[in-house]
Amino acid sequence: MSSAFELLQGATIFTKLDLRNAYHLVRIKEGDEWKTAFNTPTVVLQRLLENHLFVKPEKCEFHVSEVSFLGFILSKGSLLTDPKKTQVVRDWPQPSSVKEVQRFIGFANFYRKFIRNFSAVAGPMTDLTKRKPGPFKWSPEAERAFCELKVRFSSAPILTLPDPSLPFVVEVDASEAAVGAVLSQRPADGKLH
């Protein structure tokens, strides 16, 4: 999915379409995804009509500068978490079983690119999923990690979309518990993004 967002660098106007009864209806051969990119919504709608596919007008958005898509908000050159999804994290109750910890970590992991040192912060909770069978014990370290992740979700940064014409800067960090890397660029404002 990240590569799909990267292709949106430079886009300023967005259109979102929702096909009727399309869940797993249209399969795209791996490597042919580029063929799904069209220049205008009119061309897309024409192709849909030719193939007897129909959209749900109430779920479509045309010619907008910002669009909610798959749990993210896309706008000119930027990507941010959908506030509805970050609210879900802030309201998440304290896990009381390994399964509940796994659910939380799985949901939070989807947005890991927005959370600096995600693996290290989530480590104490991840450790709870590796324990041997027996009674579940929520640790003080897991509580701190849980609260810290909620705080970081509340202040998640806006990510800029990569510009293929600019060089990349790679920063890597590792410890005994986690490995992390950041890929940044320095656009016209001179700051690393």
Encode pLDDT of 106-122 as tens digits: 999 988 988 988 999 99
Residue 140: how many CB atoms within 10 A of its CB?
Answer: 8
Return the pLDDT at 74.
Answer: 84
Domain with CATH 3.30.70.270 in the chain: 2-81, 83-154
The set of residues, in sequence order, having a beta carbon less than 8 Å from that of 115 and lying 6+ positions away, is: 108, 121, 149, 152, 153, 156
Query: Contact at 8 Å (CB) between 161 and 6?
Result: yes
Whether 93 shows a pLDDT value over 80: the answer reads yes
Query: Contact at 8 Å (CB) between 60 and 67?
Result: no
- 22 vs 186, which has greater pLDDT? 186
| Long-range contacts, 22-30 (Cβ 8 Å, 24+) | 22/53, 25/53, 26/53
Return the pLDDT at 116.
Answer: 86
Nearest to 42 by CA among 18, 11, 10, 15: 15
The pLDDT confidence band at residue 142, using thresholds 50, 70 and 90, is: very high
Whether 141 shows a pLDDT value over 70: the answer reads yes
Whether 25 shows a pLDDT value over 60: the answer reads no
Mean pLDDT of 94-113: 93
| Amino acid letter, 5 | F
Query: Contact at 8 Å (CB) between 192 and 160?
Result: no
Q: Which of 76-80, 81-85, 138-142 has the highest mean pLDDT?
A: 138-142
The set of residues, in sequence order, having a beta carbon less than 8 Å from that of 181 and lying 6+ positions away, is: 170, 171, 172, 173
2-81 belongs to which CATH class? alpha beta
Tokens of 149: 């992740």
Q: Residues of the chain with pLDDT > 70: what percent?
A: 87
Return the pLDDT at 149.
Answer: 94
- What is the largest distance, in Å, between two alpha-carbon atoms of the chain? 59
* CA dihedral over 69, 72, 75, 78, signed as positive or negative: negative
- CATH classification of 83-154, choosing from 2.40.320.10, 3.30.300.30, 3.40.50.300, 3.30.70.270? 3.30.70.270
The pLDDT confidence band at residue 22, using thresholds 50, 70 and 90, is: low
Distance (Å, rounded) from C-alpha 90 to C-alpha 86? 6
Residue 70, classified by CB atoms within 10 Å of its CB into exposed (0-12), middle (13-18) or buried (19+), is exposed
Whether 187 shows a pLDDT value over 70: the answer reads yes
